[in-house]
Amino acid sequence: MEELQSLILSTLDKENTIPDTGKLTNAEGKPLDQLAVYAALNSLALKEMIVFDALESERWTLTTEGKEMANAGSYEVKVFEAIPSGKTGISISELQERLGEAAKIGQGKAFKNKWITKKDNRLFRAVESVVDQTRLDLETILTTNAHPDKKVLTELKRRKLCDKIKLVSYSVSKGPKFSLIVEKYATDVTAEMLQSGEWKTAQFKKYNFEALGVPPLGGHLHPLMKVREEFRQIFLEMGFEEMPTNRFVESSFWNFDALFQPQQHPARDAHDTFFLKDPSTSTKFPAGYLERVKRVHSVGGYGSIGYGYDWQIEEAEKLILRTHTTAVSSAMLYKLAQQKEFRPAKYFSIDRVFRNESVDATHLAEFHQIEGVIADKGLTLGDLIGFMNTFFGKMGVKDLRFKPAYNPYTEPSMEIFSYHYGLKKWVEIGNSGMFRPEMLEPMGLDPDVRVIAWGLGLERPTMIKYGIDNIRELLGHKVNLAMIQSNPICRLDKKMGKEAHAEEE
Ligand code: PHE
């Protein structure tokens, strides 16, 4: 390719144009392969170094039989020469013996030319001498690849002595960016080019919009999304409604304050929460509700003495990446409280949350939470425990234990444990509680409305399900895409506890 390109460029440099690349020859004096010429021209033309046009021409060549005849003479002349001059002539069978295949065809032609006559199955010469015009015509074609008489060409083609081939070659002239040196064009902007500033002057290869693309493989669901779908089905079959979780950026107000989480709570600290720089605040909150939240934090109400601190609006206005999906639950419950008449509600969500934690094999700065919320009058802690047994039972997780815990927004709060038969110990699988009146009543919910809620991570069950023990193999830049393509869809094992373990043994 490079050799061909420099041949084309140096020829253009010397002669200004190449009228026909079919006439160019290589270093050994041989004609060029026009397919390779086309490739070379195309790449030069993309760089605007040359312009070129296709030339179509035809070329006549001899068939093997034609070449033989050009060498040794035509069959008709062979027949004529096989017949002795004078009165004796030759018998047809003898001619056949001497000339084989050529005898038949040669006779026909010789008769047509009136060179011979026939009597009693013998052939005689009818003229003194003959000129082998066929051979002369064939020689012309052999040496010039053409013939001045079209009729001759048609006739010889009919006799399968010669054939026409179509030839494509090119006429070339200099383009606007003609040069003897072929510059290597960059195909992509690289990090190095950006750093060195080379991108400003670099020449880029033109896009070839005609090139065929790589066939797409089709999409594949990430394992987390497969497990999410399974959890979603459990919620939906239990009559839950999915909450709109399509906002990663949330105000501190809905993420913390609305949840009766005091402003000096360590979770708000820059260690755990990602704060936004630009825009850094949100100021649109329901005015009356905002006032009630401020009051319950600073002086209490609804039977509570509050925290007794100086609540600051500036703190509530700070925009953050939501640290839990309970931020969505608080906004949904506020909305529920605005309805004229209270209606029981069952909500769930499964989406991403963010925490400014150091990343290790089991922690990422972003992960997914599964959250369920049930609001109804007269719900008790017994309902929460009973409901947890049903919910986790649907996943095959039985034998639950509850341990008192603390959340600023629930009272009582319980961590949920399940016995892991493989690890032979109790493991924490979720967090739950009953939302406090200090959270619900400022929203406008009736004092007898109780809300039970729970949350768990999506990553842990997914990693167990797909046998992944480093979270960085599940999410982030180290993920093996083949793993995502090949993992089967998720069916949560309906027998995960004692029964599954009994089967194993
Ligand atoms: N928001 C809690 C967490 O992030 C989970 C939770 C949800 C707890 C609802 C109680 C009620 O861990």
pLDDT digits (tens, 9 = 90+) for 13-33: 999 999 999 889 988 889 899
Going by pLDDT thresholds of 50, 70 and 90, the confidence category of residue 480 is confident
Residue 104's domain spans which residues? 75-131
How high does pLDDT run on average in the chain? 90
Residue among 431, 439, 460 to mutate when testing ligand 1 (max atoms within 8 A of CB): 431
335 occurs within a structural domain = yes
Residue 236 domain-assigned (yes or no): yes
In the prediction, which pLDDT does 494 show? 54
How many angstroms does the Cα of residue 205 sit away from the middle of ligand 1? 54
In this prediction the pTM is: 0.58
Contact 106 CB / ligand 1 (< 6 Å): no
Which one, of 56, 54, 52, 55, lies nearest residue 173 by Cα? 52
36 φ, ψ to 5°?
-70, -35
CA of residue 433 to ligand 1 center, whole Å: 8
Judgement on whether residues 232 and 110 belong to the same structural domain of the protein: no
Which of 320, 326, 347, 349 to mutate for ligand 1's pocket (most ligand atoms within 8 Å of CB)? 326
Q: Give the C-alpha separation, 121 to 119, whole Å.
A: 5
Tell me if 432 CB under 6 Å of ligand 1.
yes
pLDDT band at 449 (very low <50, low <70, confident <90, very high): very high
pLDDT at 1: 73
Domain CATH code at residue 483: 3.30.930.10
Q: CA-CA distances (angstroms) from residue 83 to 61, 68, 116, 428, 505? A: 32, 21, 9, 113, 105
Domain boundary among the residues 112, 131, 150 is at 131
Backbone dihedral angles phi then psi of residue 224, each to the nearest 5 degrees:
-60, -40
Q: 495 and 393: one domain? A: yes
User: Does residue 424 form part of some domain?
Assistant: yes
How far, in Å, from the CA of 489 to the mean position of ligand 1?
28
Shared domain for 103 and 231, answered yes or no, is no
Atom of ligand 1 nearest to the CA of 324: 4
Cα dist from 22 to 32, 170, 242, 261, 311, whole Å = 7, 7, 72, 85, 89
State the distance from the centre of ligand 1 to the C-alpha of 279, rounded, in angstroms.
27
Tally the C-alpha atoms within 13 A of residue 105's C-alpha that lie toward its C-beta.
12
Q: What is the pLDDT of residue 493?
A: 61
Ligand 1 contact via 410 beta carbon (within 6 Å): yes
- Examine residue 355 and state whether it is found in any structural domain, yes or no: yes
Name the pLDDT band for 503 (thresholds 50, 70, 90). Answer: very low
Q: Are residues 336 and 463 in the same domain?
A: yes
Q: Parallel, antiparallel, or unpaired for β 345-354 and 241-242?
A: parallel
- The pLDDT of residue 220 is 82
325 in contact with ligand 1, CB cutoff 6 A: no
Nearest CA to ligand 1 atom 4: 324
Q: Which residues contact 370 (CB under 8 A, 6 or more apart)?
A: 228, 231, 348, 349, 350, 455, 456, 457, 458
Ligand 1 contact, 322 CB (< 6 A): no
- How many domains would you assign to the chain? 2
- Cα 413 to ligand 1 centre (Å): 9
Q: Which residue minimizes the CA distance to atom 5 of ligand 1?
A: 455
Closest by alpha carbon to 381, among 451, 464, 483, 476? Answer: 451
Q: Does residue 487 share a domain with residue 363?
A: yes
Residue that is last in its domain, among 67, 98, 131: 131
**60 located within any domain:** no
365's CB contacts (< 8 A; 6+ apart) are 274, 354, 355, 356, 357, 359
Contact between 327 and 260 (Cβ < 8 Å) = no
pLDDT at 453 over 50: yes
In a domain, 237, yes or no: yes
Tell whether 284 is covered by a domain.
no
**Residue range 449-465: average pLDDT?**
90
Q: Are residues 92 and 232 in the same domain?
A: no
ipTM metric: 0.97
The pLDDT of residue 218:
74
Is the pLDDT higher at 493 or at 269?
Answer: 269
Locate tokens 């895409």: which residue?
481
- Determine, yes or no, domain membership for 85: yes
Residue 500 has a pLDDT of: 47
CATH no. for residue 109? 1.10.10
Question: What are the residue ranges of helices labelled H in 74-124?
Answer: 75-82, 92-99, 101-112
Domain stops at, among 108, 131, 154: 131
| DSSP H or E run through 504 | helix 498-504
